[in-house]
Amino acid sequence: MHAEGFTAMVQPYVKGIDVTGERALQFFGGRLLHASRKGAVLSLGTPYDERKVAHPGLEPWTPTPAELAVAERALAVVPEAAELLYARVDLVDGEEGDGGEPRVMELELVEPNLFLSLHAGSVPRVVEAIVAAAVQ
């Protein structure tokens, strides 16, 4: 892919994404802002160069206590996590052999898409957090 000028992010394949999707828990100012669920970008048998939807099947999501706990543990290991304006923790369900518990796929501290079109009620909190960070 790189030889053809493409950029690739390589992740392990976890079967749970085909069943329950990937959950994106977004934090602003150290608190959960909202969560969304999306399907796999690369479905089984789909060639990498076929046109993709960035966030297939995107929908609002209410994280389970287990998902929230995993996301908070992931953020706790980030140096100066309390100072982060933004973070997103993407989770998938682990393999059944390990209990199927939520697992971290990505921890992002920079994100161009906040999924605010799905979560319009989050806009005031985002504005408040950005203004507070700007005046510090």
- Domain of 25, CATH number, reads 3.30.470.20
The pLDDT value given to residue 136: 77
d(CA 63, CA 93): 12
Side-chain half-sphere exposure of 5, counting CA atoms within 13 A:
0
Could you tell me whether strands 86-93 and 102-108 are parallel, antiparallel, or unpaired per DSSP bridges?
Answer: antiparallel
The pLDDT value given to residue 49: 63
Domain span at 44: 9-135
The pLDDT value given to residue 69: 97
Say if 1 falls within a structural domain: no
Render each residue's pLDDT in the chain as its tens digit; 136 residues. 778 887 777 777 788 888 888 999 999 888 899 999 998 776 666 666 656 666 667 899 999 999 999 999 999 999 887 788 899 999 999 877 677 899 999 999 987 788 888 999 999 999 988 898 888 7
Say if 46 falls within a structural domain: yes
Say if 34 falls within a structural domain: yes
Say if 4 falls within a structural domain: no
The pLDDT value given to residue 64: 96
The pLDDT value given to residue 12: 78
- Give burial (CB, 10 Å; 0-12/13-18/19+) of 33: buried
Please state the φ and ψ torsions of residue 16, each to the nearest 5 degrees.
-60, -25
The number of folded domains in the chain is 1
